[in-house]
Chains A and B, each alone.
Chain A
Amino acid sequence: MLAYLAKRIGMMILTLFLIITLTFFLMHAIPGGPFTSEKMLAPEIEAALNAKFGLNDPIWVQYLNYLRGILAFDLGPSFKYPGVRVNDLILDGLPVTAKTGFLALLCVAALGIPLGILAALNQNKWQDTTVMMFATIGVAIPSYVVATVALYIFALKLNWVPTFGLDDWRGYILPVVALSGFWLSFIARLSRSSLLEVLGQDYMVTAKAKGLHPLTVLFKHGLRNALIPIVTVLGPVVANLLTGSFVIEQIFALPGIGRHFVLSISNRDYTTIMGITIFYAAFLMVMILIVDLMYMLLDPRIKLAENSK
């Protein structure tokens, strides 16, 4: 177990290093410096700026400096907002993104799985048909369409929720719904098919035959097995909630990391793009590791397989 963990963390650090290197050289491969813009800067000012941010050094010196910064958890200065560091931008947006993302994840898990179970237990009855109909709609309609249509109906026409901002709890409803819609439907479909497969297994019949309580059969024998494929997709779910937040935060004008990221792209603020990408990558890798550990707790067979290696 510990050896496995060490191996995973080593792999993570290597991956992160590759990603840092890749983004660094990608960003430096873009023609034109970070201060090249429509407004021509005076050559002296540009030279001074380049000197200040160390852009005159050879590229490998800049690269080593950047790596050294990252080891100290410093992602460098933003090129577009004077005096602002990329760390500040991330810390500024993190609460908003984390809150909406966490609520969306909660929605996905706390609604998606029970709905899938409901559909599987009532296969081909009206509950099943209804859940599957909504799940099919949810998987097909892109999040930004859900967001804009919901914004129009519930915020502009019915005035039930504010059009932007997170001043009270009602402001969270539409972003969370739009963000979680796809994965909620996806998880509902997945838990339904996964539970249906488990329900058809022989050990379920055995459990029933030896007189266990129906709920024990469902939870201890059915769900524990049915949850395994669901837990595996939780990693990608977290990743996609993150990227989904780019567009959701733009539509609802939420000041989260996604919005900073999209803005930094249109501003060509290269250090911010790099910094946020690296932050995302690190965050996702930690999440995927957590999911994998959960997976091992849930399915002892996987742990055995790892030990025997």
Chain B
Amino acid sequence: MSDVNISVSKEKWAKANLDTGEAEYIAAPSLTYWQDVRQRLWQNKPAMAGLTFIILLVGAAILGPLVTPHTYYEQDLKLSNIAPILELYEVDGGQETPTYFFMNSGNFKLYETDEHGTLKSILRAKKKDLLKKRHLYEFGADQVYVDFSQLPARLLDGEGNELSTYGTKWNQTYWFGTDSLGRDVLVRQLYGARISLTVAFIATLVNFFIGIFYGGISGYFGGNVDNVMMRIVEVIATIPLTLYVILMMVVLQSGFISIIVAIGTVFWVDMARIVRGQMLTLKNQDYVDAAKTMGAGTWRILTRHLLPNTIGPILVTLTLLIPSAIFIESFMSFIGLGVSVPMASWGTLTSEAVETLRAYPYQLFFPAAAISLTMFAFNFLGDGLRDALDPRLRK
């Protein structure tokens, strides 16, 4: 027996004064599934950042190479391995206009620029003293020594005092610097972006035209058709895609077209499996029977009724497959099986940067950042799209 005395005042039991019509008033307009998806995607900040990055990248890849004065293959060996950020020094040497120059810390050479950082030419040393490890440069009456007896190399004036810098300027001629053959890194990056995006585009195309229909037909017909088609997919899926692409590249000789063909021939397998799985569950739905009863043909049922209903998983798989295609291309190019020289891909740019890693570590920055940011962008967009298409998956 409980001795707790619960007392509730009478007023609390009063009937709520609520107009039923008002309670059921729908304030927001009803949204279709796709409007809902768009709204959820729009609110997902990382996904939108990823999408913005991809759009900017596409724009830069298409327009960039058209507007720059440089080309991806044009070499200038005199201006090789120039950094994007230059530390300028100023000497007047008794002349009216001062000379601006900077030192390349990797090869201890001096280059003349103007005061804003536009490159002019390499400077010629007056005397090279390899025993004492210092080079002498003369600017009118002034002398400058490059002393590389101990690293990092220093710049000394005639009395042996260290020169003070004029300022740090961004390289105006080559915004991202030049590589070991004196080619413009920026334009090569943009061509790398073109390659990566083309690969992404091809992967999408292949998945749409082969993967979806292969999986769709296999799943829809079932039985022996399904058995044979899925055994083929199983055989292909036993070996990692990278290995296939490598084998294809060996047969086709390396080059950009070969990469496209190689990725195109085997890259639809995952998509086919996903679509088949979806088909197996969807094909027994009542609306399919309804469509059949009304006399719809196989093709119409497949393209009009079944595939549109699998679009969610298809899109999510696609956003996972695109970065993996981009990765495979750059991976192949990195190990030397991708695009052939002088064409540039982010993979070849990274491997070129690795060769000069000790002297010019900053050369690794741009290709590594480009591929990583692109992968981030596609991953964020993919995650966002998955959450937007299927909110139950959001964790």
Partners in one complex: yes
Interface: A123 (CB within 8 A): yes
One of B239, B249, B371, B395 near A142 (C-beta < 8 A)? B371
The total of interchain contacts (Cβ-Cβ below 8 angstroms) comes to 105
Contact with B along A143-163 (1 / 0, CB 8 A): 011001101100010000000
B residues 240-262 near A (Cβ < 8 Å) are 240, 242-243, 246-247, 249-251
Q: Contact at A284–B235, with CB atoms within 8 Å?
A: no
One of B240, B323, B357, B371 near A152 (C-beta < 8 A)? B357
A148-B368, A192-B395, A265-B250 known; A281-B238 Cβ under 8 A: yes
Binds B, one of A69-77, A102-110, A236-244: A236-244
Q: Contact at A156–B357, with CB atoms within 8 Å?
A: yes
Complex CA gap A236/B241 in Å reads 11
Complex CA gap A250/B331 in Å reads 12
Complex CA gap A188/B265 in Å reads 31
Complex CA gap A281/B236 in Å reads 11
Q: Contact at B234–A29, with CB atoms within 8 Å?
A: no
Q: In the complex, what residue of chain B is closest to A270 when comparing beta carbons?
A: B250
Q: In the complex, what residue of chain B is closest to A28 when comparing beta carbons?
A: B251
Chain A residues with a Cβ closer than 8 Å to the other chain, count: 46
Q: Contact at B335–A139, with CB atoms within 8 Å?
A: no
B87 shortest CB reach to chain A, Å:
20
Report which residue of B234, B251, B323 has the largest number of chain A beta carbons within 10 angstroms of its beta carbon. B251
A residues 1-48 near B (Cβ < 8 Å) are 11, 15, 18-19, 23, 26-27, 29-30
Complex CA gap A34/B116 in Å reads 56
Q: Contact at B336–A266, with CB atoms within 8 Å?
A: yes
Interface: B160 (CB within 8 A): no
Q: Contact at A145–B372, with CB atoms within 8 Å?
A: yes
Interface: B354 (CB within 8 A): yes
Q: Contact at B239–A145, with CB atoms within 8 Å?
A: no
Q: In the complex, what residue of chain A is closest to B241 when comparing beta carbons?
A: A243
User: On chain B, which size bracket covers the interface?
Assistant: 35 or more
Q: Contact at B335–A246, with CB atoms within 8 Å?
A: yes
Q: What chain A residues lie within 8 Å of B336 (beta carbons)? A: 262, 266
Interface: B137 (CB within 8 A): no
Complex CA gap A142/B327 in Å reads 7
Q: What chain A residues lie within 8 Å of B335 (beta carbons)? A: 246-247, 250, 262
Report which residue of B243, B246, B249, B336 has the largest number of chain A beta carbons within 10 angstroms of its beta carbon. B243
Q: Contact at B250–A141, with CB atoms within 8 Å?
A: no
Q: Contact at B395–A239, with CB atoms within 8 Å?
A: no
Q: What chain B residues lie within 8 Å of A225 (beta carbons)? A: none
**Secondary structure of the A contact surface, majority rule:** helix
A residues 62-110 near B (Cβ < 8 Å) are none
B54 shortest CB reach to chain A, Å:
13
Interface: B98 (CB within 8 A): no
Q: Contact at B350–A148, with CB atoms within 8 Å?
A: yes
Can you sample 24 A-B contacts with CB below 8 Å? A18-B235, A19-B235, A26-B250, A27-B250, A140-B323, A142-B330, A142-B371, A144-B330, A144-B347, A144-B351, A148-B357, A148-B368, A151-B354, A192-B395, A193-B393, A236-B240, A240-B242, A243-B242, A246-B246, A251-B354, A262-B335, A284-B238, A285-B238, A288-B238
Interface residues of A, Cβ cutoff 8 Å to B:
11, 15, 18-19, 23, 26-27, 29-30, 123, 136, 139-142, 144-145, 148-149, 151-152, 156, 192-193, 196-197, 236, 239-240, 242-243, 246-247, 250-251, 262, 265-266, 268, 273, 277, 280-281, 284-285, 288
Known pairs A197-B395, A262-B335, A273-B250; list 18 more (Cβ under 8 Å).
Answer: A15-B234, A26-B247, A26-B251, A27-B251, A123-B395, A140-B375, A144-B347, A144-B351, A148-B350, A152-B361, A193-B395, A236-B240, A243-B240, A243-B242, A246-B246, A262-B336, A265-B337, A281-B239
Interface residues of B, Cβ cutoff 8 Å to A:
234-235, 238-240, 242-243, 246-247, 249-251, 323, 327, 330-331, 334-337, 347, 350-351, 353-354, 357-358, 361, 364, 368, 371-372, 375-376, 379, 393, 395
